Amino acid sequence: MKGVDRELITVQEAAEVLGVSLQAVHQGLRRGLVRHQVVDGRKMVDRHRLLQRWKGLNDLEAQAELCNRYLDCSAWGAPPWSQEQWQTLRVVLEMAEPHTPVHPYEVI
């Protein structure tokens, strides 16, 4: 990333920085939400990118605003919803995540 010094941190440090469990960080890595690299046999993540990704995932107000742009909220009644409606909602939520990779192999 241009103009930003890379600070690689361990997965354990990433969990501490985010205030989540080590298991949660490993799950995020397995799902490909954050790029990592192996240095001396240890998984390392870029601290700056990790924090950017975390902020994007947790900005619920911005996600809700984007979802409302994609959905016709008047057409959605209260739950329970059909499987098709849940699938639609999932896709819209993924579209509303500002840092979601566009392609499954394109990670941040």
- Give the mean pLDDT of 27-48: 87
- Domain match, 37 and 12 both: yes
| pTM of the full structure | 0.51
Give the residue, 2 or 70, on which the prediction is more confident. Answer: 70
- Is 101 in the same domain as 90? yes
Tell me the per-residue pLDDT of 78-105, one tens digit each, with 9 for 90 and over. 888 888 888 888 888 777 665 444 444 4
Helix (H, G, I), strand (E, B) or coil at 38: strand
pLDDT at 10 over 90: yes
The CA-atom distances, in angstroms, between 13 and each of 20, 34, 96 are 10, 14, 28
Cβ neighbour number for residue 75 with a 10 Å cutoff: 7
pLDDT of residue 57: 67
Same domain assignment for residues 19 and 64: no
Instruction: Name the residue range of residue 8's domain.
Output: 1-58
For residues 42 and 54, membership in a common domain is answered with: yes
pLDDT at 40: 93
Q: Are 68 and 41 found together in one domain?
A: no
Q: Are residues 13 and 37 in the same domain?
A: yes
d(CA 59, CA 55): 6
